[in-house]
């Protein structure tokens, strides 16, 4: 389901470079980053009212890192049940590895959260754990589930809804002042290059795993 791709190394390098530059400028306190964050935040929070606050609070609650783990476990359970056994464990490894990387970079950059953040939003701000977890969930859906749907319209709809959900999660974190916009961008870039690594590992080891009893008769 994940094929060899000549462009994968290129995409990996691009993602790593962009993430590294963004991380460096944030940790160095570059004025351009502050101006970008302030400008985007002012646009996102332009229409503050009870409806949007409630909507984005619910979205943020559904996309919390803890619930992202729950959604991924449910998704992996379903994949395994439908004989996509290797894909199920790959999905769990994608999320676990991504969360470990996020923890490491949060403490390396050590960016404080926006002043107006809610009390329950603790820890460092960059990158956004909500956005990273959602990004990886969306990638599992678009890579493994969308191509297997019998109806192309249903497939296109699911893919579009998944992407819209990711964007809404990004907006919710900025709207609620839990993160700066560049925190959400950094999460996507981190998820992107980690995804390229995991896809490469899938291509390299998936067929070898078929020899294991745990993955017997798994689809590739």
Summarised one tens digit per residue, pLDDT across range 20-75 is 999 999 999 999 999 999 999 999 998 888 899 999 999 999 999 999 999 999 99
State the Cα torsion 71-94-203-146 to the nearest 10°. Answer: 30
For residue 76, pLDDT over 80 is answered with: yes
CA distance 127 to 65: 12
Closest CA to 55 of 184, 217, 168, 202: 168
Closest CA to 26 of 104, 111, 108, 117: 111
CA-based end-to-end distance of the chain: 6
Residue 28 in 3-state DSSP?
Answer: coil
Q: What is the pLDDT of residue 119?
A: 62
For 191, the token pair is 């998820």
pTM of the model: 0.94
């Amino acid at each position: 389901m994940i094929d060899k791709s000549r462009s994968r190394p290129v995409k990996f390098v691009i993602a790593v470079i962009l993430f590294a530059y963004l991380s460096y400028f944030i940790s160095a306190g570059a004025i351009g980053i502050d101006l970008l964050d302030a400008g985007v935040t002012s646009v996102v929070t332009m229409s503050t009212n009870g409806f949007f606050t409630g909507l984005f609070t619910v979205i943020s609650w559904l996309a919390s890192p803890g619930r992202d783990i729950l959604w991924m476990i449910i998704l992996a359970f379903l994949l395994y049940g439908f004989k996509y056994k290797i894909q199920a464990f790959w999905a769990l490894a994608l999320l676990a590895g991504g969360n470990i990387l996020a923890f490491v970079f949060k403490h390396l950059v050590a960016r404080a959260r926006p002043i107006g953040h809610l009390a329950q939003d603790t820890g460092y701000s960059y990158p956004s754990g909500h956005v990273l977890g959602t990004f990886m969930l969306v990638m599992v859906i678009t890579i493994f589930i969308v191509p297997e749907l019998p109806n192309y319209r249903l497939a296109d709809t699911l893919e579009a809804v998944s992407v819209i959900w990711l964007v809404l999660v990004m907006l919710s974190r900025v709207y609620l002042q839990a993160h700066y916009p560049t925190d959400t961008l950094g999460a996507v870039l981190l998820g992107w290059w980690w995804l390229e690594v995991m896809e490469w590992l899938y291509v390299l080891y998936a067929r070898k795993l078929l020899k294991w009893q745990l993955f017997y008769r798994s689809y590739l």
